[in-house]
Amino acid sequence: MKKILLAYNPVSGHAAFKNQLDDVIENLQRRGVLLSVYRTQADDNSSFVDCVKSSGAEGVLAAGGDGTLHAVINWLKRNDLDLPVGVIGSGTSNDFAAHLGLDAEKTFDAVAAGRTRPVDLGLANGAEYFINVASAGVFTSIAHEVDSRLKNFLGKSAYYLRGLGELTNFKAVPLDVEADGQKFSVEAFLFLVLNSPSVAGFKKISDAAQIDDGKLDLIALKKCSPRSLMTLAKKILAGGCVDGDENILTLQAATLTISTSAALTSDLDGEAGAPLPLKVETLRRAIKFFA
């Protein structure tokens, strides 16, 4: 039988995945897959690598949100474990899985068939990997400030409700950007460095972003009037992409360096990252993903 390690986050989303665990085991076992289980910890996950090695796993499934997938990929890459990864979305935000159009059944089928596709990874400041998005500016701290009970109850709406309360505090900051050697300066409320076009629950922020093209896509929201900001927000909420909008700076590059005189901390896949300056590099097709 194929051996897979399931790393599940017991508090992701509605903290209900533990009630689905038997169904997951049954579904994979029926497909000829033997599952080992690792329960992620809030503080120390040093035993994860030993669990992977001792289980003889041929791949790892992450059950949780984008943050859980982020953690699993970092644990694997930092320990030179070249294993395919998949995700069972059970968190508040599951943007990468949404972009791939993966539900649990499709993921189970891909795991059983050993069907994978290579995808790019981002590397921030040479130290931390991200699979979907790196960001900084207004809104980026919200994911870390929203109470976990509120997230579990309201889902993504918790972020949006908190964000609405921050509208009057929007402040643009000066950004200096170097993209594959070219330099740009802009005053912006926030920036996103995308691997996939799916972010914050919106499936198509940009038409340009691709997960296997060897490049990352910078989207910076320029300083603009409240009226322009609301118009752009309506466009995004309606599912539109921001490419070509006069209030958006878009760049595509294999390597981006973003610095500012302001005190900004980055966010990587919804998890707190390092303070700026931020250098992000594209690692082309650096990991295989069950899909």
CA 169 to chain centre: 26
Write the single-letter amino acid at 46.
Answer: S
Residue 136: burial class (beta carbons within 10 Å; 0-12, 13-18, 19+): buried
- CA–CA dist 57, 214 (Å, integer): 28
Token output for 180 = 């594959």
Query: CA nearest 130: which of 192, 195, 86?
Result: 195
- CA–CA dist 208, 16 (Å, integer): 35
Give how far Cα 80 sits from Cα of 66, 117, 120, 227, Å. 21, 19, 16, 49
246 an active-site residue? no
Residues 58, 178, 187, 271: which is the catalytic one?
A: 271
Question: Catalytic residues, which ones?
Answer: 271
